[in-house]
Amino acid sequence: MAINDIHTPVLLERCIELLAPAVSHEGAVLIDATLGMAGHAEAMLERFPQLTLIGLDRDLDALDIAQERLARFGSRARFVKAVYDDIDEAAEELGFPQVDGILFDLGVSSLQLDRTERGFSYSQDAPLDMRMDASSELTAETILASYDEVALRKIFWEYGDEKLAQRYARRIVEERQQRPLTSSGQLVELIDRATPAAARRTGHPAKRVFQALRIEVNAELSVLEAAVPRALDLLRVGGRIVFLSYQSLEDRIVKRELQARAKSTTPAGLPVELPEHSAELKLLVKGAELATEAEIDENPRAKPVRLRAAERLRRPA
């Protein structure tokens, strides 16, 4: 099956529309900070023949697929194995201290979800891995085997918004004293048994626990908190950035940084705005933009997406 048949980029046309004013000129540089299977990247390179694209990903499998998919673009496509909090270093090493556009398509990729052996999905039995970078040491199995009840409860509550965090954490600690938890099937069964019928909400009860484990394994939120300001600082004046977030914790981090930089910091009471205190960014969408029903029908993975975008107005003093 062709890669295009199994991977539909989320909000592709909207991303292109928002980034186009910044990347349609000769010599433009765009960073795809979460390259994945390169659906967004391929479309950008096709639409803008003068564009150079830098693709970042921590997943070697994704990079291999992306390099094959984008091979026809030659040197216009550059590839870096990196986590996106190293976005500024990656760009500078390639000779680009500033860039014109940046795209973040956050969360777990189609490749990672669809490959059962990666252990990201609660719907198929697989080893409890969940690493986006297979060379990393921490796995979901390690967390479940070594974190104490308090630590497990904390990540289920904070990263999964799981109301039954304490119950699940206690059951996991009890279970591992009898047998190690090594597969997603075991964990799903445990959660299913531990969930009272009255507490079952929409969706599978394991969904939030798996999300929390994945975030912890890959340090997704701490990485994003570091990456957003570094990415914004990379943008030249007139440059644009687009974020696609898939859960509220990601979106909150993005929203906080964008809104802070889109406000004037001129001290209250001054009769004029000081240029060095004027807003660094202009927000390009009102609030967080959601996928349309038509988009969701065509690509169900777009359902939870929240899009935010901004344009750089000035460089920091």
Tell me whether residue 7 is annotated as binding.
no
Q: Is 40 annotated as a binding residue?
A: yes
Which tokens in the block code for residue 249? Answer: 């914790």
Q: Do the annotations mark residue 279 as ligand-binding?
A: no
The length of the chain in residues reads 317
Any binding-site annotation on 112?
yes
**End-to-end C-alpha distance for the chain, whole angstroms:** 51
Q: Check whether 61 is labelled as a binding-site residue.
A: no
User: Is 105 marked as a binding-site residue?
Assistant: yes
The annotation status of 39 as a binding-site residue, yes or no, is: yes
Closest CA to 99 of 18, 30, 40, 17: 30
* Nearest residue to 247 (alpha-carbon basis) of 201, 301, 205, 197: 301
User: Which segments are annotated as binding site for S-adenosyl-L-methionine?
Assistant: 38-40, 57, 84, 105, 112
User: Which segments are annotated as binding site?
Assistant: 38-40, 57, 84, 105, 112
